């Protein structure tokens, strides 16, 4: 990381600050990874150790990915799981994922993080929950440090195998005492609660159908004792809802509330199948939600009520989810899909009042606040994601915050004809790769390529390991 950094002459700089300033001819100045000035270029220092001329580019705060499974880059596009919804999709993958060894874990983490950085993502939460074959979360943390990405790692878990009524095979789960002991080890070794921290740890049991009630309670207690956040999948599918109703006599949200899993230190992945009372509970207790639109469509899980969440004051961020249920790690694509899917959801709503015709539905006018706008989608990916992860020093470009940002070339084919509103073009137009991505003041992507590591040998290694893992299918 250079000590001082200056970005100047941006055609547009999007701050996402409290005033939502969008500055033409804007720039920023940082010292030791912290922003010291943001504004018009003429108001900034004239030089620095690292100078980025952003002429012809738009600058945005770094995106925050609130839910991912990086090791799943190893099983993208698996033929046996191309046309399944969640439960059979998981059953097609569990045993393969359990074979992920340290070499494969590092390679898959590097591939996923590099792809994210190329799409403007600077902070990543990863939810890994299988730790067989010598795999440990340590290898992912080391990979993220080497690449230079801000990383929230989970010591996830599964403890409820098929013989006990869970979904995963017994050989893919762990002993609960071992899980809790290793979770303490990882937190004590790696968690950094300081301002601008590059590594934090999250306690993250996998799901209602793969962990016991005891592990959920103990995990919540441990996380609060250690001052770290809690995360799990919830309300992703109707199969999950049937599971908790049949096993516990409760819907998933009510069940988790009874296990001390509500509060501002909790966020849930997907959170699709919720009712209005459950949305109000999330808002009242401070729970967050990670919206994963591409994965939700890929697995036909449903459409999360994101506009309802936003109206109720629920904290919402975006996640790409697993690279085997999305098959990509592209946050720009996720932003676009979040906007489009919210609009599709409106179109599926029945019009108010009786239909005037019997054959065709009546198109009903939509109020302005019902639309998901491009800027709202960008908020979800930036300040929304930062809030979900409990970070107040990332997600916007403001003095005192971290120097996490990326740039896009406005003179690209993708944006041709769309510069009436360059900010909205970022969302409405086809996603393109970042020209520059800076994380904590360190340039990770330059001229559209990762520069902190030679990715070619990593990709070759990753492809070899991917084929080996699935070779006995």
Each residue's pLDDT tens digit, 182-241: 999 999 999 999 999 999 999 999 999 999 999 999 999 999 999 999 999 999 999 999
470, part of any domain: no
What is the average pLDDT score of the chain? Answer: 95
CA angle at 230 for the pair 116 and 235, rounded to the nearest 5°: 80
Do 336 and 416 fall within a single domain? no
308 domain-assigned: yes
Structural domain range at position 147: 63-347
pLDDT of the residue at 360: 46
Please answer whether residues 253 and 272 qualify as being in contact, where contact means their C-beta atoms are separated by less than 8 angstroms. no
Residues 12, 132 within the same domain: no
290/429 same-domain check: no
Tokens matching residue 326: 């999305």
pLDDT on residue 351: 53
The whole-number average pLDDT for the span 59-78 is: 97
Domain with 69 in it: what CATH number?
3.20.20.140
pLDDT at 76: 95
Q: Considering the entire predicted model, what is its pTM?
A: 0.95
In what helix (H) or strand (E) does residue 284 lie, and over which residues does it extend? helix 276-285
Please tell me the distance from the alpha carbon of residue 344 to that of residue 337, in angstroms, as a whole number.
Answer: 10
**Helix residue ranges, H only, 381-437:** 385-388, 422-428
Same domain for 398 and 271: no
CB-facing half-sphere around the CA of 3: CA atoms within 13 A: 2
Average pLDDT over residues 247-263: 97
Going by pLDDT thresholds of 50, 70 and 90, the confidence category of residue 465 is very high
In a domain, 352, yes or no: no
Give the pLDDT of residue 358. Answer: 46
Tell me how many helices (H) and strands (E) the chain has: 15, 21
> Does 359 map to a domain?
no
Percent of the chain at pLDDT > 70 equals: 95
Start-to-end CA span in the chain (Å): 44
Listed residues 312, 347, 382: the one ending a domain: 347
Helical ranges in 64-212 per DSSP H: 86-97, 102-118, 137-147, 176-190
Please, which residues have CB within 8 angstroms of residue 239's CB and are 6 or more apart in sequence?
85, 86, 87
Residue 366's pLDDT band, with cuts at 50, 70 and 90, is low
- The per-residue pLDDT for 348 is 79
Q: Are 418 and 11 in contact (CB under 8 A)?
A: no
Indicate whether 209 and 342 sit together in one domain: yes
């Amino acid at each position: 990381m250079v000590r001082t950094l200056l970005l100047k002459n941006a055609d547009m700089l999007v701050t996402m600050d409290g005033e939502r300033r969008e500055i033409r001819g804007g720039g920023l100045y940082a010292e030791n990874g912290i922003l010291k000035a943001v504004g018009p270029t003429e108001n900034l220092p004239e030089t620095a150790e690292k100078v980025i001329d952003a002429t012809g580019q738009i600058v945005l705060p770094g995106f925050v990915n609130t839910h991912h499974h990086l090791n799943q880059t190893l099983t993208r596009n698996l033929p046996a799981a191309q046309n399944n919804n969640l439960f059979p999709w998981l059953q097609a993958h569990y045993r393969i994922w359990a074979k992920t060894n340290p070499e494969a874990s590092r390679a898959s983490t590097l591939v996923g993080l590099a792809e994210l950085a190329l799409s403007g993502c600077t902070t990543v939460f990863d939810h890994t929950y299988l730790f067989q074959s010598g795999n440990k979360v340590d290898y992912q943390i080391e990979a993220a440090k080497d690449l230079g990405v801000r990383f929230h790692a989970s010591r996830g878990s599964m403890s409820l195998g098929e013989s006990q009524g869970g979904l995963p095979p017994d050989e893919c789960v762990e002993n609960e005492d071992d899980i809790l002991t290793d979770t303490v080890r990882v937190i004590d070794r790696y968690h950094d609660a300081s301002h601008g921290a590059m590594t934090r740890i999250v306690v993250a049991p996998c799901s209602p159908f793969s962990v016991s009630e005891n592990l959920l309670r103990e995990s919540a207690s441990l996380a609060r004792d250690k001052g770290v956040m809690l995360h799990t999948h919830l309300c992703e599918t109707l199969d999950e809802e049937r599971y908790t109703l049949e096993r516990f006599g409760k819907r998933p949200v009510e069940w988790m509330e009874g296990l001390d899993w509500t509060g501002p230190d909790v966020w849930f992945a997907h959170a699709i199948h919720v009712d209005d009372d459950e949305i109000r509970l999330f808002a009242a207790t401070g729970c967050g939600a990670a919206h994963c639109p591409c994965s939700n469509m890929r697995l036909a899980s449903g459409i999360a009520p994101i506009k309802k969440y936003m109206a109720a004051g629920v904290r919402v961020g975006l996640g790409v989810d697993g690279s085997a249920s999305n098959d990509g790690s592209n946050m720009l694509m996720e932003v676009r899909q979040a906007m489009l899917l919210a609009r599709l959801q409106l179109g599926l709503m029945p019009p108010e009042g009786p239909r005037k015709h019997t054959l065709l539905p009546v198109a009903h006018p939509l109020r302005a606040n019902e639309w998901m706008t491009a800027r709202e989608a960008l908020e979800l990916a930036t300040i929304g994601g930062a809030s979900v992860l409990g970070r107040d020093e990332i997600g916007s470009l403001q003095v005192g915050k971290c120097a996490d940002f990326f740039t896009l070339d406005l003179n690209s084919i993708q944006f041709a004809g769309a510069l009436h509103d360059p900010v909205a073009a970022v969302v409405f137009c086809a996603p393109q790769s970042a020209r520059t991505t800076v994380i904590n003041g360190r340039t990770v992507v330059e001229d559209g390529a990762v520069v902190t590591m030679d990715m070619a040998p990593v990709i070759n290694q990753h492809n070899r390991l991917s084929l080996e893992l699935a070779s006995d299918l």
